[in-house]
Amino acid sequence: MSPTLDDERRTVEPLPDLGTLGDDELKRLIDDLTAEEQEISYQRRLLHGKIDILRAELVARLQKTEGRSVLDQLDVDRLTEILTAKAAPPA
């Protein structure tokens, strides 16, 4: 039996007892969670860009004229590069 999407989703861990954390540990936890959120946000933006490209292609195929896609003039690879560069996570 193959794993389902629910199986692959990350489980949400409860927060530690905040009263037991020192200032440095609390700051590190904030930094770690902020970095994780930025990575997830980056992945989400990439997925949205890919979805937009695929939807545009589908619309173009549905609106074909003379057997050619409206997107034939576009460089989809270049558009993908632009989207990934624009959405790159901060270093």
pTM: 0.53
Q: What is the pLDDT of residues 14-39, one digit of tens each?
A: 888 888 989 999 999 999 999 999 99
Under 8 Å between Cβ of 23 and 35:
no
Q: Which two tokens stand for residue 76?
A: 């989809």
Q: Where along the chain do its domains lie?
A: 23-86
Could you give phi then psi for residue 65, rounded to 5 degrees?
-130, 130
Question: Of all helices (H) and strands (E), which one includes residue 11?
Answer: none
Token look-up 């927060």 returns 15
* Distance between first and last Cα of the chain: 39
